[in-house]
Structure 1
Amino acid sequence: MANYVTKESLFEIQSITNPILAPNEKEALYIRTQLNEKENNYNAHLFHIDLETGESTQWTYGNERVSSPQWSPDGKQVAFLVKRNEKQQLYILNSRGGEAQELTTLPNGVNSYLWSPCGEKLWITSTVKKGLGITEQEEKEEKKVPKAYVVDKMKYKADSVGLLPQERYSQIAKVDLATKEVSAFTEGDYSHSLQGISHDGKTLVIAVNRTENTDDIFRTPLFLVDVETKEEAVLIDEDGYYGGAEFSSDDRYIAFGGSDHTYKNATHGHVYIYDTETKTTQKLTEMLDVPVGDYAVADIQQGVDAPTVIWTENNDLYFQVSTEGDIRLYYATLEGAIYPASPENEHVYGYAVFKNGNRALITVSNPTFPGELFDFDITTGERKQLTTFNAEFLESTTLSTPEAISYTAKDGITVHGWIMKPAQYTEGEKYPFIVEVHGGPHTLYANTFFHEMQLLAAKGYGVLYVNPRGSHGYSQEFVDGVRGKYGEGDYEDIMAGVDYVLQHYAWIDESRLGITGGSYGGFMTNWVVGHTNRFKAAVTQRSISNWISFYGVSDIGYYFSEWQMLADMNDVEKLWHHSPLKYAANVETPLLILHSERDFRCPIEQAEQLYITLKRMGKEVGFVRFPECDHNLSRTGIPNLRLERLEQITGWFEKYL
């Protein structure tokens, strides 16, 4: 008897990420993450693979999450971060065996690190309280008493963090490998991050913003810092997001990723090259009208940490590009030649390139394949699968294979997406049908494995998921096409997709349509039910219902509204016009509202307003609150509550469809 995807399949599917090549290029590291049902958490363990024999060995065990593995420059040791006591610390493991030893015991732990190329020290970042040294312990209070939090800035809270710690700053220090001695490198009441290091070990790239109040500052300048003298030179100091600096093998060039502020947070990501000899910067990918980076949304991959860009020994480059539903590895030369290096119809979510540039280790997923590690010959296109952690799940489970579609929306633009048949599809039958809308909106649905979509198909639903205007992976004009116009062209794009599939797929039961989505997808779900009665059931998740209150309650509200709605509190008419709450009286679709109580991105008051308003109007509405969870419940939330969320979604659709 065939097995189908269940909500509990989340515990079977394993996430294989972060391939890291050894300096000898004969071995590598990667991380396997699993949901731990017994402990109701996530375990991430370090694995080693011999690339000549293909043999994998598990190197860490226990109820813990390992991250950021890096080989020492001579390949004899491996460093990683893990929280084994109270704080996350840096550990060193001999690559020929033995116990990992704790290198740091800092009072606030280690946030990130880089090996110095000499192999005798490591650069780290750690959080330090104002007035204390990096190794100094804060005074412990005898008794925990509640303390007032005095707010003096607009950027004072963040989703997944909560209220931002006051008078604490991320500082850079170096750790001597032999003595474990920690010595501070940066100072001042500003947060610093490590972005890169030169091959001669003489230059660090650090990011720091030394503005007193960053409420209206959307830049973190990158500096080249001389390790001996601490002298700084600006690498880039412009509005936007820049980081992930990599030096070419001869240290002449520095490649880094970034997106400027031309279209605010809708600007395409690019690769920039700084020439240390001419002191000039070029935008290497300027002619590429798709974004550099991985903007895919899914719910399986955990703790992915892919490089921004990788150099070969010949000064060519590799990086990821999100393009028309694919996340592909791209190749570029300094002269500006750019072309894809990996195939279509898949999601390359991790990569490590051999020095000669002809071969790579890649972690790859596609819509019916959760992801494994492959040895990829870039020149011939041949690949060898190195891990089979998900083989048992795939062999025993019947999946639905998404079919790519494209159609023309109302104003002539082409929209791309996928349709899935129910997993137990029988020719001639009619099936209920669910539309999924992604968040962002500047992300994309991709050719990657999505547990939630497969679960809906297994439950007997057809599924449609598309990339309406505002999605990444297409032109700059396309991704910018929603700003100031939420609920207009994007809404038309989604409804045109519904019309398209109803016209072309006779098995869809038009009288049993459902819609769901989270974040921006939750906004769109709310908007849809206020503007059409075509759907018989809807589930809105971590949604926005009222742009007026969102402005003041979201951790990003005051600037996100200005960037995305092109309106602030001086134009409440525009904010209200685009608010789904305004159209509550029109709602006739039974609506289930799901929301996390610790969501600071789209705070739960957005759900509360919508629920009480609809309930007061006598509408068919449900409301489920998830304690101790933030905006990322569906992807990285507490496992039992992820299951409960899926149970609530499928239960609502079962009831009304």
Structure 2
Amino acid sequence: MTDDFLKELASLPTLAHPTASPDGDRVALYYDETGRNELHVLDAETGDRTTWSDGEVPRNARWWVRWAADGERVFYHEDEDGNEQNDVHAIDPDGETEAVVETDGQSTLNDVGADGETLLVGSAADGQMNLYVHDLPSGETRKITDYDRAVGAGLLSPDCESVAYATNESDDFRNQDVYVANVDGSDPRNLHVGAEGAEAHPVDWGPEGDRLLVADTTEDLTRAGVYDLRSDEVTWYGDGRYQEQPVQFLPDGSRFLATRTRDASDVALVYDTDSGTVRRLDLPEGVASYPAHGSAALGDDRVLVVHTTPTTRPELLLYDLSTDEYETLVEADYGSIDPETFADAEFFTFASNGVADAPAEAVELEPSTELDIEALLYDSGERPSPLIVAPHGGPPVQDKREFGLFTQFLVSRGYSVLRVNYRGSAGRGREFREELYDDWGGAEQADVARAAEHVLDTRDWIDDDTVAVFGGSYGGYSAYWQMVQYPSLYDAGVAWIGVTDLEDMYENTMPHYRTELMEKYLGTPEENPRLYEERSPVTHAENLAAPLLLLHGVNDRRVPVSQARIFRDALDELGYEEGETGDYEYVELGEEGHGSSDIQQKIRAFEILDDFLGRRRGNS
């Protein structure tokens, strides 16, 4: 493949964060067809699309947009070179922008009040992530919650007199409860939606303000419920066989939207609140999702759906619930690339007891719970085929049967790609996720190694002399850990924005990541000093036995760049040599934080990855 193909693949236009306007006539979304992320507004009837911004919105489309209540402006998140220390800005059709909410730390727009005057913002301005109410006429921002644990899922009631949110005051760190309070934060009430130790959160207010759509994990798999604030009773939906995530009420309040996860696929659902009946939208297998922020509804019977498969890029659909027909509002653009060249995903499962066959050089592990682990394999068609093992980030997310740009890029270079939903991943229920508690760098990393071993044992067309690992964020932690725990398994590795020193990560990440990620999974360094040291890849840096590329954004505030620097310095102290022919290579990415969707930054990442793997694996 040529460099022209690399650039064209990275430059294919991508949509992000579609949301319906309050009147249901338009859709705001991010789109980068000009080569840069811009805010577009689409007329739902004609399909005409206009561009509101001209370089004012962020290059990285990580954070969502929301309509103002009057439909005259769109709110967006502005940061500095990807550092995610967001302020809330607004833009109008003429491209005029205004800074609306400016605070220290990270701020996120949780909700826009129907009164046209109130915004609900989550902010870490005072340390921990808590809720703030912003009054648009006066410009005043007031803190309304003050919890030690992070507050999330904030929602304004239709009359803007109440708020719903999720946090945890329990001694059980796994727990999360749904609260309702007055809009000034007074009289907070725990609704006790789920059992102690389960996670519950509000999803949407009913149109009359007397019901809440909620999600809960009491029965292990996430379920959808409607909480009646008049009777303090919950009606649960579904039969419990699948994980289902509620999304929003439809405008008439008699139905709600949800998604169901099964075998790494998502289907879109509509539930009737009175009868409990559910129907599935008539869409091809893959991943169908409603907008996660803002509104999916353009009236009572038309909804926005984003649909993708392993070989088809995301498209925005307008689905008519009354006819079960849909039209495509934003088609996927493939340029001159033939979609037939993209590799489909083979879904399979394998058994893992949390111990790999490969020698564990860092931490000796005892067998853990034996589980069926899900995986996706993308065959490049090369024979024999080098293999890239690509564990996902999170950790509580899931690789699904959807289009993956980095996956298809690697396939285009001749590598087959293995993605593993190790224990701790989302989509399989609370118990599956909690297998990772107090065990980072343990059984879940053995699941990743076992997946590679399973593929090597069962696919004779894989070249067992050319196996590499590549991951970002928690996947970057996995890449570091695989290289020091199972060095005999890998011939090269790429660790992108990954964690190497757990105590440094705890001290320097953002407050809500400290409590809701580090403490939730590992406790504090004071409580578990041995675990923090033992499961830090830098502790075992001397085990590195194959070329490693360390790649990190200098503006990353989730996983600070100190993580890469610490590992680099440890390698230097151990006598490892840096450089293209050395033991490791080190690259810091300027003007970039925790990854980026910007086209030029994707091209840069592709080129760095392609160059390293091509030289180190001899596959150009």
- TM-score normalised to structure 2 length: 0.77
8 Å contact kept, 1:544–1:550: yes
For 1:300, the equivalent position in structure 2 comes to none
8 Å contact kept, 1:545–1:579: yes
8 Å contact kept, 2:385–2:462: yes
Residue aligned with 2:73, SS: strand
Equivalent positions of 1:602-621 (< 5 A) are: 602-619=559-576, 620-621=583-584
Equivalent positions of 1:171-190 (< 5 A) are: 171-175=132-136, 181-182=137-138
- How far residue 437 of structure 1 moved from its aligned partner, in angstroms, is 0.8
Q: Report the CA distance shift for 1:184/1:454 in structure 2 as closer, same or farther (over 3 A).
A: same
Q: Report the CA distance shift for 1:495/1:273 in structure 2 as closer, same or farther (over 3 A).
A: same
- How far residue 443 of structure 1 moved from its aligned partner, in angstroms, is 0.6
Q: What one-letter code is carried by the residue in structure 1 that aligns with 2:67?
A: Q
- How far residue 378 of structure 1 moved from its aligned partner, in angstroms, is 4.5
In structure 2, distance between residues paired with 1:217 and 1:496: 28
- How far residue 363 of structure 1 moved from its aligned partner, in angstroms, is 1.8
In structure 2, distance between residues paired with 1:523 and 1:85: 25
For 2:375, the equivalent position in structure 1 comes to 417
* Pick aligned residue for 1:400 from 334, 340, 343: 343
Residues 288-309 of structure 1, C-alpha deviation per residue, up to 9 Å, x if partnerless? Answer: 652627xxxxxxxxxxxxxx42
| Structure 1 runs not aligned, ≥5 long | 94-98, 129-157, 159-163, 176-180, 294-307
More off after superposition, 510-519 vs 543-552: 543-552
Q: Report the CA distance shift for 1:209/1:415 in structure 2 as closer, same or farther (over 3 A).
A: closer
8 Å contact kept, 1:5–1:399: no
Residue aligned with 1:649, SS: helix
For 1:387, the equivalent position in structure 2 comes to 330
* Pick aligned residue for 1:55 from 17, 25, 47: 47
Q: Report the CA distance shift for 1:92/1:290 in structure 2 as closer, same or farther (over 3 A).
A: same
* Pick aligned residue for 1:347 from 282, 287, 291: 287
8 Å contact kept, 2:305–2:316: yes
For 1:11, the equivalent position in structure 2 comes to 11
Q: Report the CA distance shift for 1:485/1:460 in structure 2 as closer, same or farther (over 3 A).
A: same
- How far residue 471 of structure 1 moved from its aligned partner, in angstroms, is 0.8
For 1:31, the equivalent position in structure 2 comes to 29
Residue aligned with 2:350, SS: strand
Alignment partner of 1:645 is 2:599: no
Alignment partner of 1:124 is 2:119: yes
Q: Report the CA distance shift for 1:188/1:10 in structure 2 as closer, same or farther (over 3 A).
A: same
Alignment partner of 1:65 is 2:57: yes
For 2:476, the equivalent position in structure 1 comes to 522
- How far residue 480 of structure 1 moved from its aligned partner, in angstroms, is 1.8
For 1:504, the equivalent position in structure 2 comes to 458
8 Å contact kept, 2:168–2:176: no
Residues 423-459 of structure 1, C-alpha deviation per residue, up to 9 Å, x if partnerless? Answer: xx36xx3122111111111111112221111111111
In structure 1, distance between residues paired with 2:615 and 2:252: 60
Q: Report the CA distance shift for 1:356/1:558 in structure 2 as closer, same or farther (over 3 A).
A: closer
In structure 2, distance between residues paired with 1:585 and 1:655: 23
- How far residue 275 of structure 1 moved from its aligned partner, in angstroms, is 1.1
- How far residue 536 of structure 1 moved from its aligned partner, in angstroms, is 0.8
- How far residue 124 of structure 1 moved from its aligned partner, in angstroms, is 2.8
Query: Which structure has the larger Rg over C-alpha atoms?
Result: 1
In structure 2, distance between residues paired with 1:85 and 1:590: 34
8 Å contact kept, 2:152–2:167: no
Residues 198-223 of structure 1, C-alpha deviation per residue, up to 9 Å, x if partnerless? Answer: 55x36442559999xxxx99979743
Q: What one-letter code is carried by the residue in structure 2 that aligns with 1:644?
A: R
For 2:406, the equivalent position in structure 1 comes to 452
| Structure 2 runs not aligned, ≥5 long | 59-63, 81-86, 354-368, 577-582
C-alpha RMSD of the superposition: 4.3
- How far residue 243 of structure 1 moved from its aligned partner, in angstroms, is 5.7
Aligned length: 566
8 Å contact kept, 1:71–1:79: yes
In structure 2, distance between residues paired with 1:628 and 1:85: 11
Residue aligned with 2:476, SS: helix
- TM-score normalised to structure 1 length: 0.73
- How far residue 372 of structure 1 moved from its aligned partner, in angstroms, is 1.6
Q: Report the CA distance shift for 1:256/1:533 in structure 2 as closer, same or farther (over 3 A).
A: same
Residue aligned with 1:318, SS: strand
Q: What one-letter code is carried by the residue in structure 1 that aligns with 2:388?
A: I
Alignment partner of 1:592 is 2:553: no
Q: What one-letter code is carried by the residue in structure 2 that aligns with 1:182?
A: S
8 Å contact kept, 1:484–1:564: yes
Q: What one-letter code is carried by the residue in structure 2 that aligns with 1:413?
A: L
In structure 2, distance between residues paired with 1:72 and 1:202: 12
8 Å contact kept, 1:16–1:30: no
- How far residue 379 of structure 1 moved from its aligned partner, in angstroms, is 6.5
Equivalent positions of 1:185-204 (< 5 A) are: 195-198=154-157, 201=159, 203-204=161-162
Residue aligned with 1:437, SS: coil
* Pick aligned residue for 1:366 from 304, 309, 321: 309
